[in-house]
Amino acid sequence: MSTSSPNSSASRIPVPVIAALAAALIGLAIVLAFFVAPEDADQGISQRIFYFHVPIALTAYACFGWGAWKALRLLWKGGDRYDLESYVAIHQGTIFGALTLATGSIWAKASWGKWWVWDSNQLVLFLVLFLFYSAYFMLRFSIDDGPRRANVSAVYALFGVALIPVSFLAIRLAEDFIHPTTFNRDGPQMTGTMFFTFCVAWLAMTVLAYALYRVELLGKRLDANLRELREALA
Amino acid sequence: MIRARAVEKRYGRRRALRPVDFTLERGGFLVVTGPNGSGKTTLLRLVAGLAAPSAGELEVEGGRGTLGYLGHEPLLYRDLTALENLDLYGRLYRVPERRERIGMLLERYGLWDVRGERVGSYSRGMTQRLALCRALLHEPELLVLDEPFTALDVDGAELLDCQLAELAGAATVVLTTHEPARVDPLATATLALA
Amino acid sequence: MTYLSDVAALARKDLRLELRARDTLPAMLLFVLSTLVVFHFALPTGADEVAAQGLLWVALVFTALLGLARAWTPEREGGALDGLVLAPSDRSAIWLGKSAATFVFLAAVEVVALPAFSLFFSPLHASGYLGVLLANVGICAVGTLLAAMAAASRTRELILPLLFLPLAIPLVVGGVGAGVSDDPGRYLTFLGLYDAVFAILCWASFEYVVSE
């Protein structure tokens, strides 16, 4: 009945430390992105959003991957804790996915004047993934708690990571008959400072995701323990 | 044949089966009793391998091919005939001389005349008898029966009495029932769930 | 080769059930034809061939969903799924048998739907037909597994489309591309890739979907 997840070295670092680190890194990233990094000649302000949009997207991928890894462990070895960890990771991934869509939308508005464009493959991919993982939650909430729910969620999580590259390929292929690529997309050529800013932002987002992951896990485990205690006393 | 140590089953927060211990030797006949909700069905499903224990150790000798299960549901296709149902299971269980065995069972349990009719048109008693045929089709070494008498008609119940008397000692049987007196003479062990 | 004979026995069972009940197949047929007619009214005049091809795939995907929604109903009615899971045969054979039968049903519907499409709109190239065939494999493999997941849920019929549609997007891209592109080979290869990846994933994971 422990409240901490055992074993891995990162999980021994207390949550407040991680949260503080995340806050510090985000602060640093914001300063770098908006004040220190040079303005891009072509894209101006929209490029600043890029410093967050891409790291957030990468972090979302990482969360989905982490969730799938935990899902695999669940199917392999079994045990409630992998189910919870997988669920929380995917939950974080979906939040970051939604943020990716939001920042992507802001970027599209700033760059091309429309709130949505189909030209950015990454954005379209996230739209598909967002639909997929939203269905994950609907599926999970419509099955009663137990091994069935854990197993089904885990298998679906594995389908998710398989879908990521396959969908990306599909979207690439669809360019032929959906839209000719008329705009110059994604990564501007990054100079030293820009790259450094990007890396800081990426690290910040990753640590933020991990902090939120630990917090949510802690919260859910506390909930479960409290419930068990209540039942034992009743 | 079966060894259970602190075996329990939880579905999320719901405790379906409290920790239970027992051992059953080959050829034994275990009668499980207990009030509704005490986990009899859950225990039988665990023994049959339809679910895995949440905690504890459960060892059941033999693979799926040597186990016969009769649950609350008949495990049959309502739109197929008795013959078609048993033929499918006969193939999946690799029953040797499938047709003969099916014919023999259907006759024994009084279903030969209706063998070509949809199971959906059977009465409850007939369906349960067919389910019993399904469970016995592959001559299992371990028979797991969940309240087999409940859905049976009078004739069927008598046939089952005979069958159990035949099997006692030869096969291992785990059975739950609301009328323990009926199977008392055959029982070598009992387990009462709270 | 008992694995394949198990798969065959299970697939035969599903074909027999459908031939006897005859409810799903006619419904799928009528659905796809009605949908094609609706599309005629939904497409503005002057809409090109490519748009019509796209709508064909929408029709096929939703028709497949209609059939898939009831794929596991016979197993649920008498508790037969437990019976299949208990059998010594490999659990994946249950999925493969059901997928194979679903493939036959879908193909049977397409035998009518594709000529109807050619009649109402424009004829398909050979690559288009091949695209349909390859996409069918993916639809049936993934759809059957997802339908089993949906069967475990309280909201069964509601949730299956939600689970299926995001996974169907690559199939639609592949299928439409195979039909309209100048270089259909790329799309057909992609469909083959999808089929391989997801069929293996389904095959390996079905056991867990039906276990507690």
| Residues above pLDDT 90, as percent of chain C | 80
Residues of C with CB below 8 A from B69's CB? 82, 86
- Contact partners, residue C17, CB within 8 Å, separation at least 6: B77, B79, B80, C74
User: H helices within B75-153, ranges in order?
Assistant: 82-92, 98-108, 124-136
Give the ipTM of the model, two decimals please.
0.93
pLDDT band, residue A4 (cuts 50/70/90): very low
First-to-last C-alpha distance (Å) of chain A? 18
Identify whether residues B19 and B76 lie together within a single domain. Answer: no
| Torsion angle defined by CA atoms of residues A104, A110, A113 and A118, in that order, rounded to the nearest 10 degrees | -20
Interface of B with C (CB under 8 A): 48-52, 63-65, 67, 69, 71-80, 84, 88-89, 91-94, 119, 134
Angstrom distance (rounded) from CA A81 to CA A73:
10
Contact B71 C79 (CB under 8 A): yes
Question: Cβ(B109)–Cβ(B151) under 8 Å?
Answer: no
pLDDT band, residue A2 (cuts 50/70/90): very low
User: H helices within chain B, ranges in order?
Assistant: 40-48, 82-92, 98-108, 124-136, 154-167, 180-183
The tokens describing B5, both together, are 């140590």
Least confident window among B123-127, B136-140, B149-153, C7-11:
B149-153
Angstrom distance (rounded) from CA C175 to CA C190:
10
Contact A132 C201 (CB under 8 A): no
Nearest to B52 among A147, A149, A231 (CB): A147
Per-residue three-class SS string for A6-45: CCCCHHHCCHHHHHHHHHHHHHHHHHHHHHHCCCCCCCCC
Question: Cβ(B12)–Cβ(A144) under 8 Å?
Answer: yes
**Is the pLDDT assigned to residue A109 strictly greater than 70?**
yes
Query: Would you state the pLDDT for residue A6?
Result: 52
Angstrom distance (rounded) from CA C40 to CA A96:
41
Is residue A220 packed enough to be buried (19+ CB in 10 Å), middle (13-18) or exposed (0-12)?
A: middle
pLDDT band, residue A44 (cuts 50/70/90): low
Question: What strands, in cross-sheet order, belong to the sheet with B55-60?
Answer: B14-24, B2-11, B55-60
The tokens describing C119, both together, are 């009649």
Which of C135, C126, C117, C119 shows the shortest CA–CA distance to C53?
C117
Residue that the structure tokens 């997929």 belong to = A132
User: H helices within chain A, ranges in order?
Assistant: 15-31, 46-77, 80-112, 121-141, 147-174, 192-233
| Residues above pLDDT 70, as percent of chain A | 87
Q: Report residue C51: phi and psi, to 5°.
A: -60, -40
- Specify the CATH number for the domain of residue B173: 3.40.50.300
Q: Are strands B172-176 and B29-33 parallel, antiparallel or unpaired?
A: parallel
**Is the pLDDT assigned to residue C23 strictly greater than 90?**
no
The domain in which residue C139 lies consists of 2-209
The model's pLDDT over A132-190, given as tens digits with 9 standing for 90+, comes to: 999 999 999 999 988 999 999 999 999 999 999 999 999 988 887 765 444 444 555 66
- Residue ending a domain, among B106, B122, B140, is B140
Mean pLDDT for chain C overall: 93
R_g (Cα) of chain B, nearest Å: 16
**Is the pLDDT assigned to residue B122 strictly greater than 80?**
yes
Angstrom distance (rounded) from CA C117 to CA C132:
13
Query: Would you state the pLDDT for residue A9?
Result: 66
pLDDT band, residue B85 (cuts 50/70/90): very high
- Total domain count, chain C: 1
> Could you give the C-alpha distances from A93 to A72, A116, B47, C139, in angstroms and in order?
17, 21, 39, 27
Nearest to B91 among C9, C85, C86 (CB): C9
> Could you give the C-alpha distances from A204 to A99, A200, C14, in angstroms and in order?
15, 6, 54
- For A228, the closest chain B residue by CA position comes to B13
- Give the mean pLDDT of C146-163: 93
Which of B176, B121, B173 shows the shortest CA–CA distance to B2?
B173
Query: Would you state the pLDDT for residue A58?
Result: 94
Identify whether residues B54 and B146 lie together within a single domain. Answer: yes
- Total domain count, chain B: 2
Query: Would you state the pLDDT for residue A83?
Result: 94
Amino acid at C116: A
Q: Are strands B2-11 and B14-24 parallel, antiparallel or unpaired?
A: antiparallel
Question: Cβ(B12)–Cβ(B156) under 8 Å?
Answer: no
Contact A149 B12 (CB under 8 A): yes
Residues of C with CB below 8 A from A177's CB? 50, 176-177, 180-181
Identify whether residues B118 and B170 lie together within a single domain. Answer: no
C: neighbours with 3+ CB pairs under 8 Å?
A, B
3-state secondary structure of B2: strand
Query: Would you state the pLDDT for residue A194?
Result: 80
The model's pLDDT over B53-81, given as tens digits with 9 standing for 90+, comes to: 999 999 999 889 999 999 999 999 999 99
Instruction: Specify which residues B29 forms β-bridges with.
Output: B173
- Residue ending a domain, among B97, B120, B140, is B140
- Give the mean pLDDT of A193-215: 90
Instruction: Specify which residues B8 forms β-bridges with.
Output: B55
The domain in which residue B80 lies consists of 70-140
Quote the DSSP letter at residue B121. G
Q: Report residue B60: phi and psi, to 5°.
A: -125, 120
Identify whether residues B78 and B106 lie together within a single domain. Answer: yes
Question: Cβ(C86)–Cβ(B69) under 8 Å?
Answer: yes
Which uninterrupted H or E stretch holds B14? strand B14-24
- Chain A to chain C, count of Cβ pairs less than 8 Å apart? 100
pLDDT band, residue A204 (cuts 50/70/90): very high
Nearest to A173 among C163, C190, C197 (CB): C190
| Residues above pLDDT 90, as percent of chain A | 50
Is A141 in CB contact (< 8 Å) with chain B?
no
Question: Cβ(A210)–Cβ(A42) under 8 Å?
Answer: no
Is residue B30 packed enough to be buried (19+ CB in 10 Å), middle (13-18) or exposed (0-12)?
A: buried
Angstrom distance (rounded) from CA C119 to CA C142:
30
The model's pLDDT over C82-102, given as tens digits with 9 standing for 90+, comes to: 999 999 999 999 999 999 999
Query: Would you state the pLDDT for residue C40?
Result: 87
Query: Would you state the pLDDT for residue C123?
Result: 87
